[in-house]
Chain A
Amino acid sequence: MNYIASIGSYAIMVKEVFKKPTKWGIMKSLILKEIDELIYGSLGILIFISFFIGGVVAIQTALNITSEIIPKYLVGFATRQSIILEFAPTFCSIIMAGKVGSYITSSIGTMRVTEQIDALEVMGVNALNYLVFPKIIAMLFYPFIIAIAMYVGIFGGWVAGVFGGFSTSADFVEGLQLDFNTFHVTYSFIKTLVFAFILATIPSFHGFYMKGGALEVGKAATTSFVWTSVVIIILNYILTQLLLG
């Protein structure tokens, strides 16, 4: 019952975000600030993680190929598939739920407990539009960093495969090009966009409607991380079933 009520208030919140817009001049600078914070600020960690995970996927695949019948290009093929289909869009989004999500929940939550949100509302500002809308717009740029994560992840696989002696460069590249289905990339970016919306709105919801003091801000950030991840995992399943199943 509680969950259903929460889903209801979440829906109402999302509707409210798009109402009574803030002056464009002010909104523009808010959006730029969020792009810097949410997108540009996450680039480093995603590149770092993608590179090494790509490498590990390549090594694991290579180590598991024991039979002579299995072609060598499989290392490149498996790296490409797992990075593009799952690792870049889904795994990175879970990491973002931790990084960006907890930042969003704690910054909005702090504004709630220190009455800054009340202050906005007293002035007649639509606080949800002012705080959440720029985050949603900034997250529209999320697919760009996921695209970068895909390149870097595959590059990491190539580096680990070739320099670790698990595959030749030619085999790896052959695997990369084998049976390339462009719809997989489309599918991946559809997921990424959906996750971007989730990453902007669920943490905002947990911050905006929190009650209590500084301690509760920390708890809200944790709860928000859990729920954002859970929703991403469930939506990942549903979208995969719908788009590929």
Chain B
Amino acid sequence: MIEVDNIHKSFGDAHVLKGITTRFDKGKTNLIIGQSGSGKTVFIKCLLGLFTPEEGTISYDGKIYSELSGSEQRNLRQEMGMVFQGSALFDSMTVEGNVRFPLEMFTKQSVSEMQDRVDFVLKRVNLIDAHHKYPSEISGGMQKRVAIARAIVMNPKYLFCDEPNSGLDPKTAILIDNLIQEITQEYNITTVINSHDMNSVMEIGEQIIFLKNGIKEWEGTNKEIFKTDNKAVTNFVYSSELFKKVRQMYIEERN
């Protein structure tokens, strides 16, 4: 569980996060939604410790990050996995090399132990015959799978995903969303996902917070989001023409 208490983050004059307080539960897919530029990436980078908020605290299962020593922070970081928006795979390494990298860096496992673990996670994300390919040689969906495999190879307690299905076709996007949800439940991970995709909201939005201009406008579940009266949220939810039509039909039918 991650608890965020009143965090603020600015870059120069730009006040990006303006006092966000929320909680992300274990074993659930927690969604952060909002328009582009609303501060989702900055928020997730604060959760990762890549950015330090000027104000407020973030605690991970009771451990407040800013109160930990350097080495404790590093240990905590090793319990985190991150799937970046563009996958951020290392171009110079094969698929296998990418997934093996954290093990090589931080464990004393033997070559065969590492190989077993790499094979296991790649199989878990349904990648079977791409072990020796380079990131540039595989599709966007496969790259995302590799990124997920790399993020979970160290058995993280916390998993962060920045728009994991951006740039994917809708079908692949749902597969990736479902994969993240399965892994979250299987290993009881605290997962936080940035998204601006309504499909993700419907598919895996167990807990949702809606950000607007660095402020938490709304929170709830994907059942509640369609019933809310919050103008900003409904604008976001029904920003797609398809959803607008569906809603129109729903209202007409009801009357």
For B45, list chain A residues within 8 Å (CB).
Answer: 118
Evaluate contact between A122 and B86: CB separation under 8 angstroms: no
A80-119 interface code vs B (CB 8 A; 1 in, 0 out): 0000000000000000000000000000001100111011
Contact yes or no, A122 B80, CB < 8 A: yes
Identify which of B1-9, B100-108, B126-134, B197-205 touches chain A: B100-108
With A115-B85, A116-B90, A122-B48 as known contacts, state yes or no: A26 contacts B78, CB within 8 Å. Answer: no
Interface set, chain B 80-108, CB cutoff 8 A to A: 80, 82, 84-86, 88-91, 101-102, 104-106
- B84 to A115, Cβ gap below 8 A? yes
Q: Which chain A positions have C-beta within 8 A of B78?
A: 123-124
Most chain B beta-carbon neighbours within 10 Å: one of A23, A114, A124, A125: A124
Per-residue 0/1 for B223-234: is the Cβ within 8 Å of any A Cβ (1 yes, 0 no)? 000000000000
CA distance A45 to B91 in the complex (A): 26
Residues of A within 8 A of B84 (CB): 115, 118-119
Docked complex Cα distance between A125 and B104 (Å): 11
| B105→A119 contact, CB < 8 A | no
> Closest chain B residue to A117 by CB distance?
B88
Q: Which of A22, A25, A115, A124 makes the CB contact (< 8 A) with B88?
A: A115
Q: Closest B-chain residue to A23, C-beta based?
A: B105
Q: Does B50 lie at the interface of the complex (its beta carbon under 8 Å from any beta carbon of A)?
A: yes
In this complex, how many residues of chain B approach chain A with their Cβ under 8 Å: the count is: 21
- Return A103 CB to nearest CB of chain B, in Å: 13
Query: Given the known A-B contacts A115-B85, A118-B50, are A123 and B104 also in contact in the complex, defined by CB atoms under 8 Å?
Result: no
User: Which of A26, A111, A118, A119 is packed against the most chain B CB atoms within 10 Å?
Assistant: A119
User: CB < 8 Å: which of B88, B89, B106 contacts A118?
Assistant: B88
A52–B107 Cα distance when bound, in Å, is 52
Q: Is A121 an interface residue (CB 8 A)?
A: yes
Contact A26 B88 (CB under 8 A): no
A122 and B104 within 8 A (CB): no
Any chain A CB within 8 A of the CB of B74? yes
Which of the residues B89, B91, B105 comes within 8 Å of A123, measured between beta carbons? B105
Contact A124 B104 (CB under 8 A): no
Binary interface encoding of chain A residues 1-38 relative to chain B, with 1 for a CB under 8 A from any of its CBs, else 0: 00000000000000000000011011000000000000
Known: A23-B105, A26-B104. A124 touches B74 (CB 8 A): yes
Q: In the complex, what residues of B have CB within 8 A of residue A119's CB? A: 82, 84, 88, 90
Give a binary string over B16-57; 1 marks a CB under 8 Å from any A CB, 0 the rest: 000000000000000000000000000001001110000000
**B50 cross-chain contacts in A, Cβ below 8 A:** 118, 121-122
A6: min CB distance to chain B, Å: 17
In the complex, A125 Cα to B78 Cα: how many Å? Answer: 10
Q: Are A115 and B74 in contact (CB under 8 A)?
A: no
Known contacts A123-B78, A124-B77; is A115 also within 8 Å of B104 by CB?
Answer: no
Q: A116: which B residues are within 8 A, CB to CB?
A: 88-91
A20 — nearest CB in chain B belongs to which residue?
Answer: B74
- CB of B106 within 8 A of CB of A124, answer yes
Chain A residue with the shortest CB-CB distance to B108: A23
Interface residues of A (CB under 8 A from B): 22-23, 25-26, 110-111, 114-116, 118-119, 121-125
In order of increasing CB-CB distance, the 8 nearest A-B pairs are A115-B88, A119-B88, A115-B84, A124-B77, A122-B82, A116-B88, A124-B74, A123-B102
**A–B pairs, 21, beta carbons within 8 Å:** A25-B104, A26-B104, A26-B105, A115-B86, A118-B45, A118-B50, A118-B82, A118-B88, A119-B82, A119-B84, A119-B90, A122-B48, A122-B50, A122-B80, A123-B77, A123-B102, A123-B106, A124-B77, A124-B105, A124-B106, A125-B105
- Which B positions have Cβ atoms within 8 angstroms of A? 45, 48-50, 74, 77-78, 80, 82, 84-86, 88-91, 101-102, 104-106
